[in-house]
Amino acid sequence: MTSFYPGPSRLYDGVERYLRDAVAEGILSNNHRSDAFMALYKRTVGLLRQKLGVPASYSVFFVSSATECWEIIAQSLVKEKSYHVFNGAFGKKWFIYTQRLTPGASAHPFFPEVTLPVSGLSADAYDSICITHNETSNGTAVSEQLLRNVRKKYPNHLIAVDATSSLGGIYLNFMWADVWFASVQKCFGLPAGLGILICSPNALKRAEELGDRHRYNSLLTLHDHLKVWQTSYTPNVLGIYLLMRVLQSVKPIREVEKKLLKRYARWEAFMSKSSLPFRFHIANPEVRSSTVLTFHTTERIVKQLKAQTGKAGLLLGNGYGELKSCTFRVANFPALREVEITRLMQVLADH
Ligand SMILES: *Cc1c(COP(=O)(O)O)cnc(C)c1O
């Protein structure tokens, strides 16, 4: 089965070999205070800098998931009031998770079809801004220009970006925000269970100011351990090892992005020429995500297409949240292969 689910999704072909290597190399039996683990941590962070362009001044933490990052930000970085800008289910969930921990969280939803202008944000009364870069539930993304303009308009706010379904697939300019995070089961083509949290020097300054050390995953606690390339708990060593191997094998992010955008253009061409029984859920091409495609149709046709693709060994992603019955989703992640996409298009067109 080839999984087009937008996470977990198709694994990189190399993962099977990397798994065997991890066992053979003995890294999985090394404890996390060992030199071998510390070297692995350091090397993986080095590769994130080299392949994704994570700035040398930004710190990289390994945690368990993107959801955990929502909590770490709420606990260790939001002073009192966070401003949540979102247009879909993941951004909303982030807001709800934050509100449970810091009651000053405030929701600022926007319509998925609009290109959000920076003038649409009024975050002066807040200390943190939370933005979902790629909304996996409805297949939208915010532009780099918006992130740049938010940074310019709010130079002293803490800006946090959920890049769970874009980091590793799309070029991101890390300078436009203080906190970036993702989990590896989306664009990294890996099994779930590892989150990547990237923090600017200003984010760490904010953490120092707040002084939260109440939890095992408080940012300052994580940072104390990072200084010696360790973690505050026994981490997912296998996940980190697999990430290291995948990063070694992938091209620099600009090239990965180029490939994804070319494939996305193939999807656009596919959608424009045929008389298909489904359409892009998002009509405005400016705000459409290039890593997660969401298609809209009737409940009956969604069922039919799932059965049809399933028979061909291709797994479609379910619709998410309130879009569950009338949409289906297709990942455009780097690990998917050209021939697999061609095959999926054939089966979908065969309706
Ligand atoms: C998948 C996803 C999450 C949740 O990731 P977990 O690893 O399950 O915590 C959060 N935000 C976005 C945008 C996602 O796509």
Residues with CB under 6 A from ligand 1: 7, 65-67, 90, 132, 136, 162, 164-165, 183, 192
Residue 279 has pLDDT above 90, yes or no: yes
**pLDDT at residue 269, rounded to an integer:** 96
Residue 330 has pLDDT above 80, yes or no: yes
Q: Which atom of ligand 1 is nearest to the CA of 195?
A: 7
**pLDDT at residue 262, rounded to an integer:** 98
The percentage of residues in the chain with a pLDDT greater than 90, rounded to a whole number, is 99
Q: Which atom of ligand 1 is nearest to the CA of 165?
A: 15
Residue 274 has pLDDT above 90, yes or no: no
**pLDDT at residue 351, rounded to an integer:** 73
The residues, any chain, with a CB within 8 Å of residue 287's CB and separated by 6 or more, are 112, 113, 114, 115, 140, 141, 142
- DSSP letter string, 230-259: --SS---HHHHHHHHHHHHHSPPHHHHHHH
Residue 202 has pLDDT above 80, yes or no: yes
**pLDDT at residue 192, rounded to an integer:** 98
Choice among 23-27, 183-187, 196-200, 273-277 with the minimum mean pLDDT: 273-277
Q: pLDDT band for position 275 (50/70/90)?
A: confident
Residue 113 has pLDDT above 90, yes or no: yes
Residue 273 has pLDDT above 90, yes or no: no
Kind and range of the H or E run holding 50:
helix 35-52
Token pair 């708990």 is found at 233
Mean pLDDT of the region 116-120: 94
Q: Atom 2 in ligand 1: which residue has the minimum CA distance?
A: 164
Residue 245 CA to ligand 1 center (angstroms) comes to 22
* Start-to-end CA span in the chain (Å): 20
Mean pLDDT of the region 172-197: 98
Query: What does the mean pLDDT of the chain come to?
Result: 97
Residue 165 has pLDDT above 90, yes or no: yes
Which residues does residue 108 pair with via DSSP β-bridges, in sequence order?
Answer: 85
Buried b (16+ CB within 10 A) or exposed e, 78-114: beeebbbbbbbbbbbbbbebbbeebebbbbbebebee
Residue 291 CA to ligand 1 center (angstroms) comes to 14
Q: Which of 146, 152, 186, 194 is nearest to 170 (CA)?
A: 186
* CB-based contact 323:294 (threshold 8 Å): yes
Residue 183 CA to ligand 1 center (angstroms) comes to 7
Kind and range of the H or E run holding 83:
strand 82-86
Residue 310 has pLDDT above 80, yes or no: yes
Residue 170 has pLDDT above 80, yes or no: yes
**pLDDT at residue 144, rounded to an integer:** 96
Residue 273 CA to ligand 1 center (angstroms) comes to 33
**pLDDT at residue 159, rounded to an integer:** 98
SS3 59: strand
Q: Which of 9, 164, 236, 293 to mutate to test the pocket of ligand 1 (most atoms within 8 A of CB)?
A: 164
